[in-house]
Structure 1
Amino acid sequence: TQEIATAMGMDGRISPKFLHCGPGYGGSCFPKDTAAIVEIGKEYGEDMSVIAAAISANEKQKQKMVEKIVREMNGISGKTICVLGLSFKPDTDDVRDAPSIDIIKGLIENGANIKAYCPKGIKEAKWRLEAYNNKIKYCKDEESSTQDAEAIVLMTEWNQFRGINLEELKNRMKDNFYFDLRNVHTKNCKVRSLFKYYPVGQK
């Protein structure tokens, strides 16, 4: 939970900066490097069990996000889900090993239709999700991506999503499920009155 992460972050040797709850880590470096360390360990007869467990936990976290969305929406077959953010972190077009890729695949495999918007990540996501693109509509902005959606899944914490008008957001939607996988709006006093709101690691 977020409370445990906050307590751990009080230790100066750990720091709170990399202990935020979320849908899993991604990017071009960390997934590749952790996998490489495990393989090097195998070559030298060393079981890198802690790193291997972190890799496994990261994969499970992405699947848990899919399961949570399906469970809370009582199934998603035929429903339209808006995904905000495709890159693995803000201010980049890098979608390599981004949680969005596996989560979108999981949502589509459970019958959902996806409307997606990302300030920079759409071009790369299109070819990484090529086999699924008949179920994905890539939108030009957050307004068009949320129109008539039954749920929003905020995947990447771009600054422009932090300042989004929540009332206008809800009014464009067909239903009001909001899965805030980066806990961007947990402190907004309006979010729980407007949405069926689901952050990560806290209520």
Structure 2
Amino acid sequence: VESGRAESALRAIYQPLYLRETPIVKTDIETAELTKYAANAFLATKISFINEMAVLCDEIGADVTALAKGIGMDGRIGSKFLHPGPGYGGSCFPKDTLALMRIAQENGHSLRIVEAAVEANAAQKAKMVKKVRDMLGGSEAGKTIAVLGLTFKPETDDMRDSPSVTIIPALIEKGASIRAHDPQGIEEARTLLPQNITYSENAYDACMDADAVILMTEWNQYRALDLSRLGKTMKQKIFIDLRNVYSPELLKEYGFRYVGVGRS
């Protein structure tokens, strides 16, 4: 706050939080803004870290899910935001990491850890494209790919900096046809993604005659797919799980070729 009057006004607004004894830090405006940026940059770094561990797990045959559980049991680290995936997106992490880097640069400093997290996030999306390509035998040209989930996270229609905005155009550029479904994001997706995408009413329609399906966003309705029905609709039973929702063993029982992020 800048003044006692401002502090009094804010305390009145947030009185319900005081009554619940919610911790509140009083500080100057510069520190408050920097705190917000730093918090999101830290979380973005944590996501990029576990994604880098997932890449290493893929290379040496380790299981990033068990790794994340193991390090998350350490109270100094914690288990939150240790979920590997196709990269972070949304309205906060990309914007706030770049803002923090800009503030540092304007003041003659370089935030190398934050810069590395941003670079790793961009690289992760490119690696997901390669993962899809490898599962399709080295080329996505002429293949039909179903994409389940377009928003950057479940329970939102927010497409800002969603991994799908990078991954889908990269697949289309190399000749893939995309059939997509999302419970809330289709309207926004139409404005951000290439026009030649077919949007489907449900997951099963999206997978009709598909060579592969990508689980891009972990919406609850995708967590309990009828795998027998899904497999019968597809041309090839290839399941690319970019959120590690499904057990590899379960998918293999249903005859799918399966790949996750940092485990197989």
Q: TM-score range by the shorter chain?
A: over 0.9
1:95-106 equivalent positions in 2, closer than 5 A: 95-106=159-170
Question: What is the match of residue 195 of structure 2?
Answer: 133
Of the three residues 83, 105, 113, the one matched with 2:147 is 83
Query: Which secondary structure state, in structure 1, belongs to the residue aligned with residue 86 of structure 2?
Result: coil
Question: What is the match of residue 148 of structure 1?
Answer: 209
- Does residue 234 of structure 2 align to residue 173 of structure 1? yes
Larger Rg: 2
Distance 2:67 2:259 in 1: 18
Distance 1:55 1:186 in 2: 29
Q: CA deviation at 1:140?
A: 1.1
TM-score between the two structures when normalised by the length of structure 2: 0.73
Deviations 1:43-63 (A, max 9, x none): 011110000000000000000
Q: CA deviation at 1:8?
A: 2.1
Conservation of the 8 A alpha-carbon contact between 1:24 and 1:99: yes
Deviations 1:25-57 (A, max 9, x none): 000011100110011110011110000000000
- Does residue 179 of structure 2 align to residue 115 of structure 1? yes
- Does residue 132 of structure 2 align to residue 69 of structure 1? yes
More helix by share: 2
Distance 2:75 2:88 in 1: 22
Structure 2: give runs of 5+ residues left out of the alignment: 1-53, 55-63
Query: Which secondary structure state, in structure 1, belongs to the residue aligned with residue 195 of structure 2?
Result: helix
Distance 1:20 1:38 in 2: 24
Q: CA deviation at 1:13?
A: 2.7
* Percentage of matched positions with identical amino acids: 49
RMSD, aligned α-carbons: 1.1
- Does residue 94 of structure 2 align to residue 34 of structure 1? no
Distance 1:29 1:93 in 2: 15
Deviations 1:58-108 (A, max 9, x none): 000000000111122121101100000001001000010000110001111
Conservation of the 8 A alpha-carbon contact between 1:186 and 1:199: no
Distance 1:39 1:186 in 2: 41
Question: What is the match of residue 161 of structure 1?
Answer: 222
Conservation of the 8 A alpha-carbon contact between 1:78 and 1:112: yes
TM-score between the two structures when normalised by the length of structure 1: 0.95
Distance 2:239 2:186 in 1: 21
